[in-house]
Chains A and B, each alone.
Chain A
Amino acid sequence: MIKAYILLITYVGNLKAVLEELRKLDHIESISVVAGDYDIIVKARVDALEDLMTLTDNIHAIKGVKRTNTQVIEKEIEV
């Protein structure tokens, strides 16, 4: 199993529409709207790197997404 954080920057005024589309996608563990350099942080869980590519492709296809930055998790400590 591969987990990754996908950090999204959207064009101003598209946040709500992007969120609506994101919530329809598979392999997503959580979606957070944040205040900071990014707009949305998606945590993804996929079986193979190829699924991660499909997911990022799908995210890129959403209208209003300006840029994404994928951080693949190597080791995670969690409660």
Chain B
Amino acid sequence: MRIRKRYLFYILALSSACASAASAVVDTVVAHEFIANPWVYGLAFFLVAAPLTLLITLIISIPAGKRSIGARIDPSFRRIRFPRKEELLYQMLSALGNAAFTLGYFLVMSRLMEPSVVLSFSQLSILYLLIVESVAEKNAPTMAEVQASLIVAFGAILGSISLSGELDMEALLIVFLVMNPGTVLFAEYQRKLKRLKMDGRPNDAINIRLWNLVFTTFFVFIIVSAMDVKLVAESITASGTALSWISAGVVVTFFSIVLFVRAMGIGKASITQAVRASSIIFAIPFFIALSYIIPDITFVSDPVLLLIRIMGIVLVVMGVISFALTEVKAYIFIRLEPGYPVTEIQQKIWEIKGITSVSATTGCYDIVAKARMRTLGKGYERIIRELEKIRGIKTFEWQTILKEWEEL
């Protein structure tokens, strides 16, 4: 077994970014070559996506050796299953968010000739997530996180902005009032779903994606058919004509979202979203390749715009690196006083912000906890002060992790 370096989170989020860049390319091809009406394309996408994702989930449920094939994508995945009762509310809310985002996206696409002028502002959803997290006190962002998120968000806007079109205020409002809140709803509840425990095991991203898609298809179908029933018939024919491209888009999006949800299971939603904003970098080689295959799609050649984009990309890279570098992890070895229930204390420690795992152990320590924080100062403020409040803890030893390798 090879043990590779840490930062599974960054690998997941960056792979997700890469897949989402690829899906953006497929979107461009479909919109350019096959389906001009964004509403029709949107519904056609979901009509293909729901059954195809069901098929993919069925295939990767096939056991290969000890585990199913899907366990290679998400180790928590076993097989396809129905959503549980406790998942339903979260699934509905995140599907609603996804539908709102999608709806806003179509609205912008159908209003503007050059939608990338305003769509780049959807990167600001990172800041929305930061605000949501700071309101939900348990997850207050640190200064380092706010700083790096701002750098990434503004970098992403610069990196994806286009100067050729006009800034449409109404379209911009749609981005700020519909798409970004949609993203927040989607991301926060997908994260909550991922963090649910199913029979004592972590929830898997694959089933979450499948059922989210089913619910979103339902919402999008209702919205589009409410607008014009003719669009539904058009979507069905369109999904037939562009089937192979849409399918490719569905598969790439599947990986992009599954990896994204897995990453959110590890880190905060805002930071996952920020790292994922690096998709604007991955999109560049894809679009250059595309402009060779389909000559109508041209890559920006205006030097000023290119300079602005490069500046944006540098900012995104710097922001992501500063996220990765401002992370401190530690083990805490805890001894308890006799006569206190271990499970209860374990639960109390688990509730402390920044604790990523708590294990009751046999041996010279009773509990081994693992913590993650942005600065060592936060480790004192948030973790040690809280630990000292818990009755029953006799001593604890703090071991800061200097370097770490994890199995991928």
A-B complex is real: yes
The residues in B between 1 and 52 inclusive whose CB is less than 8 angstroms from any CB of A are: 1-3
Complex CA gap A72/B361 in Å reads 5
Interchain CB contact under 8 A, B265 and A75: no
User: How many Cβ-Cβ contacts under 8 Å join chain A to chain B?
Assistant: 102
Q: Is A53 interfacial (CB-CB < 8 Å)?
A: no
B258 → A minimal CB distance (Å) = 17
Main secondary structure of the interface of B (DSSP, over half): strand
Taking A23-B405, A26-B1, A75-B346 as contacts, is the C-beta distance between A34 and B362 under 8 angstroms? no
Q: Is B266 interfacial (CB-CB < 8 Å)?
A: yes
Interchain CB contact under 8 A, A71 and B402: no
Complex CA gap A69/B2 in Å reads 24
Interchain CB contact under 8 A, B3 and A31: yes
Q: Is B228 interfacial (CB-CB < 8 Å)?
A: no
Interchain CB contact under 8 A, A78 and B403: no
Chain B residues lying within 8 Å of A37, measured Cβ to Cβ, are 397, 399
B354 → A minimal CB distance (Å) = 11
B343 → A minimal CB distance (Å) = 7
Produce 1/0 per residue, A14-38, CB < 8 A to B. Answer: 0000000001011111111111111
Taking A30-B405, A36-B397 as contacts, is the C-beta distance between A41 and B359 under 8 angstroms? no
Taking A69-B364, A75-B346, A79-B265 as contacts, is the C-beta distance between A30 and B406 under 8 angstroms? yes
Chain B residues within CB distance 8 Å of chain A: 1-3, 195, 202, 265-266, 329-331, 333, 343, 346-347, 350, 356-365, 368, 397-407
Q: Beyond A5-B368, A79-B356: 20 further Cβ-contacts under 8 Å?
A: A5-B361, A7-B333, A26-B1, A27-B1, A28-B1, A31-B405, A32-B403, A34-B400, A37-B397, A38-B399, A41-B401, A71-B365, A72-B363, A74-B359, A74-B360, A76-B360, A77-B350, A78-B356, A78-B358, A79-B265
21 example contacts (A-B, Cβ-Cβ < 8 A) are as follows A3-B359, A5-B361, A23-B2, A26-B1, A27-B1, A28-B3, A29-B406, A30-B406, A30-B407, A33-B401, A34-B330, A34-B331, A34-B401, A70-B363, A73-B359, A74-B359, A74-B360, A74-B362, A76-B360, A78-B356, A79-B195
In the A-B complex, the 9 residue pairs with the closest CB atoms: A36-B399, A71-B361, A71-B363, A34-B399, A78-B357, A73-B359, A76-B359, A33-B403, A30-B406
